[in-house]
Amino acid sequence: MIPNQRALFDIPDDIAYLNCAFTSPLLKSARVAADAALDRKAHPWQLSAPDFIASMETSRALFAQLANCTSDDVAIVPAASYGVATAARNLSPLPGERILVLAEQFPSHVYSWRNLAARTGAVVETIPRQEDQDWTRAILEAFEDGPRAAIAALPPSHWTDGTRVDLVTIGQRCRESGTALVVDATQAMGASIVDLAAIQPDFLVTASHKWLLGAYGYGFLYVAPHRQEGEPLEENYLSRAGSEDFSRLVDYQDAYQPGARRFDMGEASMFQLAPVAAAGITQILDWTLPAVVDTLAALTDRIADRAQSLGLAVAPKSARAPHMLGLGLPAGKDTPALLSALAAHKVSVSIRGASVRVAPHLYTTDQDIETFFGVLERFLG
């Protein structure tokens, strides 16, 4: 178990920030890295061509270490939507084949599939929420019912309430049926075990500004080796072979950089954001991911137990991810009024769907939890 890490963040004592699933606060070390990066941009004579390569290769390698893949498998992208759109460009379901998504899945992991279905004649099939919150069973049953599932577009945990999907089991089923597995791990990577070697997705994308403690506008796209000859969304100069030599950029190249780098966004160097993303992953690796997971699971278990004692609906532990959870209010309770009451006491959570989403992190203190439940108890009467 990791002791409280609030000292690594700039969070006043009277702020109860239980909202990491919205966006994380920056580490102090990330602020230092960002200031140094902006200083270099303010003085561009300090920059050289190798700096453009080093910034993205450093963050690429750190993500690969965390996710259990190789640097060659990782592209730099600006958002989850960019990664999902890249996957959709490189998949071709046949008319009538199915694209599986979850009910109330995050929009960036839905709209590209709707567009792909409209272009190809495929069908987007939405798997409904189960009473027992067992997404994995529902997904496996969906494979057996209907036309072939060409694509399974899924998260490791549902963004509204943290209910989990066993992607290792689903990945095995996808390989058996020839189904492409596309994962949006934004609400899991960095706070839950997402092992790419075990899951073996075709594509996996994550933004860095939530559980990776990184920068908004910066993310990572894993592309499986058998997909790395595909078509990128855009053509930028750094994705081409030999682009490290800026003096030869006019010698146009058909060949790409190795691996998934062809899928990098334009200006992937992002030397003002890449160090922030790198700082977040570096800290997670220093804590070690299993220790982060165990510590957050203990926190969310405490919150779940206390919420249940107040009569709130909480998914069973077996169905929850370790790092966040959704609380279901009694019928008739006004969720906007609850948010106002919490905000008045400097408590931050989110309402997503029908859930009060509570997302603590290693900076969360006992007092944060007490303040949250104090407001909640008064609200419930």
How confident is the model over 182-195, as pLDDT tens digits?
A: 999 999 999 999 99
Tell me where in the chain the CATH 3.90.1150.10 domain(s) lie.
Answer: 6-21+289-380
End-to-end CA, the chain: 35
347-348 and 16-17 beta bridge pairing: parallel
Question: pLDDT digit string (tens) for 339-351?
Answer: 999 999 999 999 9
pLDDT at 271: 85
Separation in Å, CA 338 to CA 15, 136, 334, 349: 17, 32, 7, 10
Tell me where in the chain the CATH 3.40.640.10 domain(s) lie.
Answer: 38-285
Residues 6+ apart with CB under 8 A from 8: 27, 28, 29, 283, 363
pLDDT at 334 over 80: no
CA separation for the pair 328, 324 (Å, rounded): 13
Phi first, then psi: what are they for 97, rounded to 5°?
A: -70, 160
Answer for the pair 316, 96: CB distance below 8 angstroms, yes or no.
no
Q: Which CATH entry fits the domain spanning 6-21+289-380: 3.40.50.11540, 3.90.1150.10, 3.90.79.10, 3.30.530.20?
A: 3.90.1150.10
CA angle, corner 376, sides to 311 and 296, nearest 5?
85
Q: Cα 256 to chain center, whole Å?
A: 27
pLDDT at 373: 97
Nearest to 350 by CA among 322, 332, 327: 327
Residue percentage of the chain with pLDDT more than 90: 85
Separation in Å, CA 19 to CA 1, 23, 132, 380: 21, 7, 25, 21
What mean pLDDT, rounded, does the chain reach?
95
Q: How many CB atoms lie within 10 A of CB 223?
A: 29
Q: How confident is the model at residue 213 (pLDDT cuts 50, 70, 90)?
A: very high
Strands laid side by side in the 350-352 sheet: 325-327, 355-358, 350-352
Residues 6+ apart with CB under 8 A from 35: none
CATH class of the domain defined by 38-285: alpha beta
CA separation for the pair 56, 154 (Å, rounded): 27
